[in-house]
Amino acid sequence: MSTRTRFTIGIGVIIATVAFLIFTAVDQTRMYMVTVSEYLQADQAFADSTVRVAGRVAPGSIEWDQQKLRLNFTLDDMEEDQSIEVTYEGIVPDMFAEDRDVVVEGPYAGAQAFEADTIITSCPSKYEPEQTGHE
């Protein structure tokens, strides 16, 4: 086999390996972002996938067990009258509170209680510029 043929085969193997690594990395980090109502209506569309569900923490629904670091709460849809129960084990973000917009991330579990691996909170409105009466 000539040097040129070996070089061409080597380059082909390197390109195929890099393409495979990129494909698997993108496939592993792919995640769906849905609302609570979209999540409930999915009917196995997200099976075997990690999902991010956006919603608002229902007032009066937070149950926090500080000893076990276990959090249970209801996540309401922001536009429709639907909700899901969420369970989470771990340290709760500082800005987590009732009536706050959050995104929970975890494996798809259908209409059962959503077991979140991660909770992401949005910044409260107190960080917006102060409104003055002058325009």
Tell me the pLDDT tens digit for each residue of 93-111. 989 999 999 999 988 877 6
pLDDT digits (tens, 9 = 90+) for 57-67: 999 999 999 99
E strands, 77-126, are 83-89, 101-107, 114-116, 118-121
Residue 31, pLDDT above cutoff 80: no
Is-contact 63 102, C-beta < 8 A?
no
Percent above pLDDT 70 for the chain:
85
Residue 16's H or E segment, with its range, is: helix 3-29
Match domain 31-127 to its CATH number in 3.30.1180.20, 2.40.50.140, 3.40.190.290, 3.40.50.300: 2.40.50.140
- Per-residue pLDDT, averaged over 19-36, amounts to 76
Q: Which residue has the higher pLDDT, 47 or 89?
A: 89
- Per-residue pLDDT, averaged over 3-12, amounts to 91
Question: Both tokens of residue 132?
Answer: 């003055």
Pairing of strands 32-35, 63-65: unpaired
Its pTM surpasses 0.85: no
Is-contact 30 22, C-beta < 8 A?
no
Q: Rounded to the nearest 10 degrees, how much is the dihedral formed by the CA atoms of 3, 5, 8, 10?
A: -70
Question: What pLDDT is recorded for position 109?
Answer: 77
Whole-number Cα distances in Å, 80 to 56, 75, 76, 113: 11, 12, 8, 18
Dist. CA 99–CA 55, nearest whole Å = 10
Dist. CA 58–CA 11, nearest whole Å = 56
Question: What pLDDT is recorded for position 133?
Answer: 60
Dist. CA 52–CA 106, nearest whole Å = 7
